Amino acid sequence: MKILIIEDDRAISRAIAEAFGDRYAVDQAFDGEEGLFFARQDVYDLVVLDIMLPAIDGYGVMERLRAEGVETPVLMLTAKNARDDRVRGLRLGADDYLSKPFDRDELVLRAQAIMRRSMGVRTLDTLAFRGLVLDPNTKRATVEGAPVALKGKQYDVLEYLVSHEGQLVSKTQLFDRVWGFLNDTSSNVVEVYVSALRKALKEHGYDGFLKTIRGAGYVWTADDEV
């Protein structure tokens, strides 16, 4: 699970990141322009968005994301608590609204509720596909109870592909999601990890679900015609 925090107060941003703990991967942006750039990549499960931001305020970020078709869930976080501010944020497409100062436990619970709703049948605890079960807490995968031998970020690659079943995922999108925008590693690492992941899945007969679309990316699907 990956969360983007767009908050210009670095102490508050750090507190939010610490509230989510090690269970989630967190990226941080410190102004609206940077946050908009990150959020546009559409690789996050949730955006925590402050309203009072430099460059572009939170309302502007929210409006542009929805206008561009980015449907990532957004929890707006701000010192403003007037009814009109809450209504404006929700009308622009925010999923929930929490005022500062906030309780850290409430923040996490609200974030988890938003992500559960956005994922439909998927829960924060497990992700399942035809006997394949992924546990984001332990980063382990099993097939009918038998462990799949995954190393390093192979689990993260598999989780992102399975969670986007039937959707084309580009190599760039996968790299940004798993390794991050600012990582110095070459994006060619994606091909290396996908190859190794296929070998691990082949032992369980699941490699056929991971399909390469030449020049475009990857699709996790049971459709043999893809």
Q: Is 84 found in the same domain as 6?
A: yes
**What pLDDT does residue 120 have?**
55
What gap in Å lies between CA 62 and CA 4, rounded to an integer?
Answer: 13
1 versus 10: which is more confidently predicted?
10
Looking at the structure, tell me whether residues 85 and 166 fall in a common domain: no
Q: If pLDDT is split at 50, 70 and 90, which confidence band does 80 have?
A: low
Most confident of 93-107, 115-129, 170-184: 93-107
| One-letter amino acid for residue 8 of the chain | D
Main-chain phi, psi angles of 137, to 5 degrees:
-70, -40
Distance in angstroms between the alpha carbons of the first and the last residue of the chain: 27
Of the candidates 77, 9, 2, the one whose C-alpha atom is nearest the C-alpha of residue 41 is 2
DSSP 23-85: GSEEEEESSHHHHHHHHHT---SEEEEESS-SSS-HHHHHHHHHHTT----EEEEES---HHH
Q: Is the pLDDT reported for residue 132 higher than 90?
A: yes
pLDDT-based confidence at residue 166 (cuts at 50, 70, 90): very high
Between residues 212 and 87, the one the model is more confident about:
212
Chain segment 192-203, per-residue pLDDT in tens: 999 999 999 999
Domain that holds residue 213: 127-220
pLDDT of residue 183: 63
**pLDDT at residue 123 greater than cutoff 80:** no
pTM: 0.65
131 located within any domain: yes
Give strand pairing partners of 27.
4
Domain harbouring 59, CATH code: 3.40.50.2300
Domain total in the chain: 2
DSSP assignment string, 141-155:
EEETTEEP---TTHH
